[in-house]
Amino acid sequence: MSELPVIRLLPKAKPQAIRHGFPWVYSNEVVTDRRTRALAPGTLAVLEDGDRRPMGLVGVTPASKIIGRMLDRDPKATIDRAWFEDRLTRALAHRDRIYDGPFYRLVHAEADGLPGVVIDRFGDAAVIQPNAAWADARLDDLVAALVAVTGVTTVLKSASGRARSLEGLDDADTVLLGDVGGPVPVQMNGATYMADLTGGQKTGLFYDQRDNHRAVARLARGGQVLDVFSHVGGFALAALAAGAETGLAVDGSAAALDLARAGAEASGTADRFDTRQGDAFEVLEALAAEGRTFDVVICDPPAFAPAKQAREAGLRAYERVAKLAAPLVADGGYLTLCSCSHAVDLASFRNASARGIGKGGRRGQIVRTGFAGPDHPLLPQLAESGYLKALTFRL
Protein backbone atom coordinates (compact mmCIF):
# COMPACT_ATOMS: atom_id res chain seq x y z
CA MET A 1 0.00 0.00 0.00
CA SER A 2 1.16 3.59 -0.57
CA GLU A 3 3.49 5.19 1.97
CA LEU A 4 2.04 8.59 1.23
CA PRO A 5 -0.07 10.35 3.85
CA VAL A 6 -3.83 10.19 3.50
CA ILE A 7 -6.45 12.92 3.63
CA ARG A 8 -9.99 11.74 3.97
CA LEU A 9 -13.32 13.29 3.04
CA LEU A 10 -15.75 13.80 5.88
CA PRO A 11 -18.62 11.28 5.93
CA LYS A 12 -21.07 14.05 5.00
CA ALA A 13 -18.97 15.18 2.02
CA LYS A 14 -20.22 14.04 -1.37
CA PRO A 15 -17.40 12.64 -3.52
CA GLN A 16 -19.36 12.57 -6.76
CA ALA A 17 -18.12 15.94 -8.02
CA ILE A 18 -14.50 14.92 -7.56
CA ARG A 19 -15.12 11.55 -9.18
CA HIS A 20 -16.70 13.33 -12.13
CA GLY A 21 -13.73 15.63 -12.70
CA PHE A 22 -13.91 18.51 -10.22
CA PRO A 23 -10.22 19.15 -9.42
CA TRP A 24 -10.35 20.79 -5.98
CA VAL A 25 -10.89 19.54 -2.45
CA TYR A 26 -12.00 22.22 0.02
CA SER A 27 -10.76 22.31 3.58
CA ASN A 28 -14.28 22.04 5.01
CA GLU A 29 -14.76 18.74 3.17
CA VAL A 30 -11.92 16.78 4.79
CA VAL A 31 -10.93 15.51 8.21
CA THR A 32 -8.43 18.14 9.31
CA ASP A 33 -6.85 16.49 12.32
CA ARG A 34 -3.49 17.44 13.80
CA ARG A 35 -1.64 15.10 11.43
CA THR A 36 -3.25 16.68 8.37
CA ARG A 37 -2.60 20.23 9.56
CA ALA A 38 1.07 19.33 10.12
CA LEU A 39 1.66 18.36 6.47
CA ALA A 40 4.12 20.62 4.68
CA PRO A 41 2.65 22.73 1.86
CA GLY A 42 3.05 20.85 -1.40
CA THR A 43 2.96 17.40 0.18
CA LEU A 44 1.51 14.64 -1.99
CA ALA A 45 -1.26 12.62 -0.36
CA VAL A 46 -3.81 9.98 -1.25
CA LEU A 47 -7.37 11.28 -1.15
CA GLU A 48 -9.91 8.86 0.25
CA ASP A 49 -13.67 9.11 0.41
CA GLY A 50 -15.58 8.76 3.65
CA ASP A 51 -15.52 4.97 3.29
CA ARG A 52 -11.70 4.96 3.00
CA ARG A 53 -11.72 4.16 -0.71
CA PRO A 54 -8.81 5.80 -2.62
CA MET A 55 -9.90 8.48 -5.10
CA GLY A 56 -6.56 9.74 -6.40
CA LEU A 57 -3.38 11.62 -5.67
CA VAL A 58 -3.59 15.24 -4.51
CA GLY A 59 -1.18 18.05 -3.75
CA VAL A 60 -1.92 19.37 -0.26
CA THR A 61 -1.74 22.90 1.15
CA PRO A 62 -3.14 22.59 4.71
CA ALA A 63 -3.56 26.33 5.30
CA SER A 64 -5.42 26.97 2.05
CA LYS A 65 -9.16 26.95 1.50
CA ILE A 66 -8.33 24.59 -1.39
CA ILE A 67 -6.58 21.99 0.73
CA GLY A 68 -6.13 19.48 -2.09
CA ARG A 69 -5.65 19.68 -5.86
CA MET A 70 -6.25 16.51 -7.83
CA LEU A 71 -3.10 15.54 -9.73
CA ASP A 72 -3.79 11.98 -10.84
CA ARG A 73 -6.77 9.64 -10.57
CA ASP A 74 -4.30 6.83 -9.95
CA PRO A 75 -3.38 6.99 -6.25
CA LYS A 76 -0.19 5.04 -7.03
CA ALA A 77 1.05 7.53 -9.63
CA THR A 78 4.58 8.88 -9.32
CA ILE A 79 4.86 12.64 -9.81
CA ASP A 80 8.29 12.87 -11.39
CA ARG A 81 9.91 14.26 -14.52
CA ALA A 82 8.35 11.54 -16.69
CA TRP A 83 4.91 12.38 -15.33
CA PHE A 84 5.41 16.06 -16.18
CA GLU A 85 6.70 15.15 -19.64
CA ASP A 86 3.53 13.19 -20.34
CA ARG A 87 1.29 16.12 -19.37
CA LEU A 88 3.40 18.63 -21.31
CA THR A 89 3.52 16.44 -24.43
CA ARG A 90 -0.25 16.24 -24.46
CA ALA A 91 -0.57 20.02 -24.01
CA LEU A 92 1.97 20.72 -26.75
CA ALA A 93 0.21 18.48 -29.25
CA HIS A 94 -2.91 20.63 -28.97
CA ARG A 95 -1.03 23.92 -29.47
CA ASP A 96 0.94 22.54 -32.41
CA ARG A 97 -2.34 21.85 -34.20
CA ILE A 98 -3.55 25.41 -33.70
CA TYR A 99 -0.55 27.68 -34.19
CA ASP A 100 2.21 27.89 -36.78
CA GLY A 101 4.75 29.43 -34.40
CA PRO A 102 5.80 28.64 -30.81
CA PHE A 103 3.99 31.57 -29.21
CA TYR A 104 1.05 30.57 -27.02
CA ARG A 105 -0.12 29.49 -23.61
CA LEU A 106 1.32 26.00 -23.33
CA VAL A 107 -0.28 25.04 -20.02
CA HIS A 108 -3.54 26.44 -18.69
CA ALA A 109 -3.57 25.00 -15.18
CA GLU A 110 -6.31 22.51 -14.27
CA ALA A 111 -7.62 22.25 -17.83
CA ASP A 112 -4.25 20.85 -18.94
CA GLY A 113 -3.91 18.53 -15.97
CA LEU A 114 -1.43 20.68 -14.04
CA PRO A 115 -3.47 22.39 -11.29
CA GLY A 116 -2.32 25.90 -10.49
CA VAL A 117 0.39 25.90 -13.18
CA VAL A 118 0.50 28.40 -16.05
CA ILE A 119 3.18 28.26 -18.75
CA ASP A 120 3.40 30.78 -21.58
CA ARG A 121 5.82 30.14 -24.42
CA PHE A 122 7.74 32.81 -26.30
CA GLY A 123 9.74 30.95 -28.92
CA ASP A 124 12.86 29.61 -27.23
CA ALA A 125 11.78 31.04 -23.86
CA ALA A 126 9.02 30.01 -21.48
CA VAL A 127 7.59 31.66 -18.38
CA ILE A 128 6.18 29.45 -15.63
CA GLN A 129 3.73 30.59 -12.98
CA PRO A 130 3.71 27.81 -10.36
CA ASN A 131 0.75 29.13 -8.39
CA ALA A 132 0.26 26.03 -6.23
CA ALA A 133 2.59 24.68 -3.55
CA TRP A 134 2.75 21.16 -5.01
CA ALA A 135 4.19 22.52 -8.28
CA ASP A 136 6.51 25.03 -6.64
CA ALA A 137 8.05 22.19 -4.63
CA ARG A 138 8.70 20.19 -7.84
CA LEU A 139 9.88 23.02 -10.04
CA ASP A 140 13.16 21.28 -10.97
CA ASP A 141 11.33 18.30 -12.46
CA LEU A 142 8.86 20.59 -14.21
CA VAL A 143 11.61 22.69 -15.78
CA ALA A 144 13.57 19.61 -16.89
CA ALA A 145 10.45 18.14 -18.48
CA LEU A 146 9.62 21.47 -20.16
CA VAL A 147 13.06 21.65 -21.75
CA ALA A 148 12.91 18.00 -22.85
CA VAL A 149 9.47 18.34 -24.46
CA THR A 150 9.72 21.79 -26.07
CA GLY A 151 13.44 22.44 -26.49
CA VAL A 152 13.23 25.90 -24.90
CA THR A 153 16.59 27.26 -23.73
CA THR A 154 15.36 29.95 -21.35
CA VAL A 155 12.91 29.42 -18.49
CA LEU A 156 11.70 32.06 -16.07
CA LYS A 157 9.54 31.83 -12.97
CA SER A 158 6.87 34.52 -12.57
CA ALA A 159 5.74 34.81 -8.96
CA SER A 160 3.23 37.60 -9.53
CA GLY A 161 0.13 35.43 -9.35
CA ARG A 162 -2.29 36.36 -6.57
CA ALA A 163 -2.81 32.66 -5.83
CA ARG A 164 0.80 32.25 -4.70
CA SER A 165 0.21 34.33 -1.59
CA LEU A 166 -2.84 32.20 -0.77
CA GLU A 167 -0.57 29.15 -1.01
CA GLY A 168 2.05 30.71 1.26
CA LEU A 169 4.61 31.02 -1.55
CA ASP A 170 7.20 33.72 -2.26
CA ASP A 171 6.76 36.56 -4.74
CA ALA A 172 10.30 36.50 -6.18
CA ASP A 173 10.59 36.33 -9.97
CA THR A 174 13.58 34.25 -11.05
CA VAL A 175 15.45 33.26 -14.20
CA LEU A 176 15.67 29.49 -13.80
CA LEU A 177 17.56 28.69 -16.99
CA GLY A 178 19.39 30.68 -19.67
CA ASP A 179 19.09 34.44 -19.92
CA VAL A 180 16.86 37.11 -21.39
CA GLY A 181 18.48 39.85 -23.45
CA GLY A 182 15.44 42.12 -23.64
CA PRO A 183 11.84 42.20 -24.81
CA VAL A 184 10.85 39.31 -27.07
CA PRO A 185 9.05 40.13 -30.35
CA VAL A 186 5.86 38.12 -30.80
CA GLN A 187 4.00 37.95 -34.11
CA MET A 188 0.22 37.86 -33.75
CA ASN A 189 -2.58 38.88 -36.10
CA GLY A 190 -0.19 40.65 -38.46
CA ALA A 191 1.29 42.84 -35.71
CA THR A 192 4.47 42.57 -33.66
CA TYR A 193 4.16 42.77 -29.89
CA MET A 194 7.08 43.29 -27.53
CA ALA A 195 6.85 40.98 -24.50
CA ASP A 196 8.87 41.93 -21.42
CA LEU A 197 9.41 38.56 -19.75
CA THR A 198 11.23 39.96 -16.71
CA GLY A 199 9.50 43.22 -15.84
CA GLY A 200 6.12 43.03 -17.53
CA GLN A 201 2.71 42.09 -16.18
CA LYS A 202 2.02 38.41 -15.47
CA THR A 203 4.15 36.44 -17.96
CA GLY A 204 4.81 39.42 -20.26
CA LEU A 205 1.95 39.18 -22.75
CA PHE A 206 -1.74 38.33 -22.70
CA TYR A 207 -2.24 35.54 -25.23
CA ASP A 208 -5.86 35.02 -24.14
CA GLN A 209 -7.14 37.98 -26.19
CA ARG A 210 -5.60 36.86 -29.49
CA ASP A 211 -8.88 35.81 -31.14
CA ASN A 212 -10.71 38.87 -29.81
CA HIS A 213 -7.94 41.13 -31.14
CA ARG A 214 -8.43 39.62 -34.59
CA ALA A 215 -12.23 39.91 -34.56
CA VAL A 216 -12.26 43.53 -33.41
CA ALA A 217 -9.48 44.43 -35.85
CA ARG A 218 -11.77 43.48 -38.76
CA LEU A 219 -14.34 45.99 -37.52
CA ALA A 220 -11.69 48.69 -37.29
CA ARG A 221 -10.53 48.71 -40.92
CA GLY A 222 -10.39 52.27 -42.20
CA GLY A 223 -11.46 53.67 -38.84
CA GLN A 224 -10.07 55.40 -35.77
CA VAL A 225 -9.42 53.18 -32.76
CA LEU A 226 -9.20 53.90 -29.03
CA ASP A 227 -7.63 51.11 -26.96
CA VAL A 228 -8.04 51.73 -23.21
CA PHE A 229 -6.13 49.67 -20.64
CA SER A 230 -3.99 48.85 -23.66
CA HIS A 231 -0.99 47.24 -21.92
CA VAL A 232 1.53 46.72 -24.77
CA GLY A 233 -0.91 47.75 -27.50
CA GLY A 234 -3.08 44.63 -27.68
CA PHE A 235 -6.14 45.70 -29.65
CA ALA A 236 -4.66 48.85 -31.22
CA LEU A 237 -1.70 47.17 -32.90
CA ALA A 238 -3.88 44.38 -34.31
CA ALA A 239 -6.34 46.96 -35.64
CA LEU A 240 -3.59 48.99 -37.31
CA ALA A 241 -2.20 45.83 -38.90
CA ALA A 242 -5.68 45.13 -40.28
CA GLY A 243 -5.96 48.59 -41.82
CA ALA A 244 -7.26 50.95 -39.14
CA GLU A 245 -6.55 54.59 -39.95
CA THR A 246 -5.28 55.53 -36.47
CA GLY A 247 -4.81 53.89 -33.09
CA LEU A 248 -4.59 55.57 -29.68
CA ALA A 249 -3.42 53.40 -26.77
CA VAL A 250 -4.20 54.45 -23.18
CA ASP A 251 -2.54 52.88 -20.15
CA GLY A 252 -1.34 53.87 -16.70
CA SER A 253 2.06 52.25 -17.21
CA ALA A 254 4.73 54.23 -19.03
CA ALA A 255 6.78 51.05 -19.45
CA ALA A 256 3.86 49.25 -21.13
CA LEU A 257 3.31 52.14 -23.52
CA ASP A 258 7.03 52.20 -24.37
CA LEU A 259 6.67 48.54 -25.39
CA ALA A 260 3.53 49.39 -27.36
CA ARG A 261 5.40 52.06 -29.30
CA ALA A 262 8.26 49.63 -29.94
CA GLY A 263 5.68 47.15 -31.24
CA ALA A 264 4.22 49.76 -33.56
CA GLU A 265 7.70 50.51 -34.90
CA ALA A 266 8.36 46.82 -35.47
CA SER A 267 4.95 46.46 -37.14
CA GLY A 268 5.54 49.40 -39.47
CA THR A 269 2.51 51.29 -38.14
CA ALA A 270 4.17 53.86 -35.86
CA ASP A 271 3.05 56.77 -38.05
CA ARG A 272 -0.59 55.92 -37.30
CA PHE A 273 -0.12 55.09 -33.61
CA ASP A 274 -0.20 57.33 -30.56
CA THR A 275 -0.27 56.81 -26.80
CA ARG A 276 -1.61 58.60 -23.76
CA GLN A 277 -0.48 57.72 -20.27
CA GLY A 278 -2.81 58.22 -17.34
CA ASP A 279 -5.63 56.85 -15.21
CA ALA A 280 -8.07 55.26 -17.66
CA PHE A 281 -11.18 56.79 -16.08
CA GLU A 282 -9.63 60.27 -16.14
CA VAL A 283 -8.46 59.88 -19.73
CA LEU A 284 -11.94 58.76 -20.84
CA GLU A 285 -13.43 61.86 -19.21
CA ALA A 286 -10.77 64.08 -20.79
CA LEU A 287 -11.36 62.68 -24.27
CA ALA A 288 -15.10 63.34 -23.90
CA ALA A 289 -14.36 66.93 -22.82
CA GLU A 290 -12.21 67.30 -25.93
CA GLY A 291 -15.14 66.18 -28.08
CA ARG A 292 -13.25 63.17 -29.43
CA THR A 293 -15.02 60.22 -31.03
CA PHE A 294 -13.72 56.95 -32.47
CA ASP A 295 -15.09 54.31 -34.79
CA VAL A 296 -13.97 51.53 -32.46
CA VAL A 297 -13.39 51.78 -28.70
CA ILE A 298 -12.02 48.91 -26.61
CA CYS A 299 -11.76 48.78 -22.82
CA ASP A 300 -9.85 45.79 -21.46
CA PRO A 301 -9.28 46.55 -17.76
CA PRO A 302 -7.54 44.41 -15.15
CA ALA A 303 -9.74 42.19 -13.00
CA PHE A 304 -12.03 44.51 -11.04
CA ALA A 305 -13.46 41.50 -9.18
CA PRO A 306 -10.67 38.96 -8.59
CA ALA A 307 -12.62 37.35 -5.72
CA LYS A 308 -16.25 36.97 -4.69
CA GLN A 309 -16.08 39.64 -2.00
CA ALA A 310 -15.14 42.19 -4.70
CA ARG A 311 -17.93 41.20 -7.07
CA GLU A 312 -20.39 44.05 -6.48
CA ALA A 313 -17.70 46.73 -6.49
CA GLY A 314 -16.28 45.17 -9.63
CA LEU A 315 -19.63 45.28 -11.41
CA ARG A 316 -19.98 48.96 -10.54
CA ALA A 317 -16.53 49.60 -12.00
CA TYR A 318 -17.43 47.77 -15.23
CA GLU A 319 -20.62 49.81 -15.45
CA ARG A 320 -18.64 53.03 -15.02
CA VAL A 321 -16.20 52.05 -17.76
CA ALA A 322 -19.11 51.47 -20.15
CA LYS A 323 -20.75 54.75 -19.16
CA LEU A 324 -17.59 56.75 -19.85
CA ALA A 325 -16.62 54.89 -23.03
CA ALA A 326 -20.01 54.86 -24.78
CA PRO A 327 -20.12 58.62 -25.61
CA LEU A 328 -16.75 58.31 -27.34
CA VAL A 329 -18.09 55.87 -29.96
CA ALA A 330 -19.21 57.38 -33.27
CA ASP A 331 -22.75 56.61 -34.38
CA GLY A 332 -22.71 53.15 -35.92
CA GLY A 333 -19.36 52.43 -34.34
CA TYR A 334 -18.33 49.60 -32.05
CA LEU A 335 -17.58 49.31 -28.34
CA THR A 336 -15.80 46.24 -27.00
CA LEU A 337 -15.85 45.74 -23.24
CA CYS A 338 -13.80 43.01 -21.57
CA SER A 339 -13.69 41.36 -18.16
CA CYS A 340 -11.08 38.93 -16.86
CA SER A 341 -12.70 38.67 -13.41
CA HIS A 342 -13.25 35.12 -12.19
CA ALA A 343 -15.98 36.30 -9.82
CA VAL A 344 -18.12 37.97 -12.51
CA ASP A 345 -20.17 35.69 -14.74
CA LEU A 346 -21.05 36.54 -18.32
CA ALA A 347 -24.70 37.47 -17.65
CA SER A 348 -23.78 39.85 -14.82
CA PHE A 349 -21.03 41.46 -16.89
CA ARG A 350 -23.38 41.85 -19.86
CA ASN A 351 -26.01 43.50 -17.68
CA ALA A 352 -23.52 45.88 -16.07
CA SER A 353 -22.14 46.83 -19.48
CA ALA A 354 -25.61 47.45 -20.90
CA ARG A 355 -26.54 49.61 -17.88
CA GLY A 356 -23.40 51.65 -18.32
CA ILE A 357 -24.02 52.18 -22.01
CA GLY A 358 -27.55 53.33 -21.23
CA LYS A 359 -26.31 55.71 -18.53
CA GLY A 360 -23.84 57.05 -21.10
CA GLY A 361 -26.81 58.10 -23.23
CA ARG A 362 -26.41 55.41 -25.86
CA ARG A 363 -28.17 52.28 -27.05
CA GLY A 364 -26.58 49.29 -28.71
CA GLN A 365 -26.85 45.76 -30.00
CA ILE A 366 -24.46 42.96 -29.09
CA VAL A 367 -22.79 41.74 -32.27
CA ARG A 368 -20.19 39.44 -30.77
CA THR A 369 -19.40 37.60 -27.54
CA GLY A 370 -15.81 36.44 -27.24
CA PHE A 371 -13.81 34.32 -24.83
CA ALA A 372 -10.21 33.22 -24.40
CA GLY A 373 -8.53 31.45 -27.29
CA PRO A 374 -8.15 27.68 -27.64
CA ASP A 375 -4.75 27.71 -25.96
CA HIS A 376 -6.71 28.60 -22.81
CA PRO A 377 -8.94 25.50 -22.64
CA LEU A 378 -11.91 25.39 -20.30
CA LEU A 379 -12.33 22.63 -17.75
CA PRO A 380 -16.09 22.03 -17.82
CA GLN A 381 -16.24 21.08 -14.13
CA LEU A 382 -14.48 24.31 -13.12
CA ALA A 383 -16.41 27.40 -14.17
CA GLU A 384 -13.62 29.65 -12.86
CA SER A 385 -11.33 28.57 -15.71
CA GLY A 386 -13.63 30.42 -18.16
CA TYR A 387 -12.72 33.83 -16.79
CA LEU A 388 -12.43 36.01 -19.94
CA LYS A 389 -15.46 37.68 -21.48
CA ALA A 390 -15.43 40.17 -24.39
CA LEU A 391 -18.64 41.86 -25.54
CA THR A 392 -18.79 43.91 -28.72
CA PHE A 393 -21.70 46.36 -29.04
CA ARG A 394 -22.66 48.37 -32.09
CA LEU A 395 -23.93 51.72 -30.82
User: Do the Cβ atoms of 171 and 164 come closer than 8 Å?
Assistant: yes
pLDDT of residue 1: 42
Amino acid in position 227: D
Strands (E), the chain: 6-8, 24-26, 43-48, 54-60, 66-72, 103-108, 117-122, 125-130, 154-157, 174-177, 184-188, 191-195, 224-228, 246-251, 273-277, 294-299, 329-339, 365-370, 389-394
Per-residue model confidence as pLDDT tens digits over 15-29: 889 999 999 999 999
Which domain covers residue 313, as residue numbers?
A: 185-394
Per-residue model confidence as pLDDT tens digits over 61-120: 999 999 999 999 999 999 999 999 999 999 999 999 999 999 999 999 999 999 999 999
User: Do the Cβ atoms of 59 and 134 come closer than 8 Å?
Assistant: yes
pLDDT at 121 over 50: yes
Are 226 and 354 found together in one domain? Answer: yes
Task: Kindly state the percentage of the chain with pLDDT values over 70.
Answer: 99
Using the 3D structure, point to which of 47, 72, 97 is the last residue of a domain. Answer: 72
- State how far the Cα of 79 lies from the Cα of 301, in Å rounded to an integer: 38
Using the 3D structure, point to which of 41, 72, 103 is the last residue of a domain. Answer: 72
pLDDT, averaged across the chain? 95
Are 110 and 204 found together in one domain? Answer: no
Q: What's the CATH code of the domain at 152?
A: 3.30.750.80
- State how far the Cα of 114 lies from the Cα of 91, in Å rounded to an integer: 10
Closest CA to 154 of 186, 131, 193, 182: 182
pLDDT of residue 2: 52
Using the 3D structure, point to which of 143, 177, 211 is the last residue of a domain. Answer: 177
Residue 96 lies in a domain: yes
Are 294 and 191 found together in one domain? Answer: yes
Are 165 and 193 found together in one domain? Answer: no
Alpha helical stretches, state H, 152-219: 162-166, 210-219
pLDDT at 181 over 70: yes
Residues labelled as active-site residues: 340
The pLDDT-based confidence of 164 (bands split at 50, 70, 90) is confident
The pTM of this model reads 0.94
Are 48 and 85 found together in one domain? Answer: no
Per-residue model confidence as pLDDT tens digits over 309-353: 999 999 999 999 999 999 999 999 999 999 999 899 999 999 999
User: Do the Cβ atoms of 229 and 250 come closer than 8 Å?
Assistant: yes
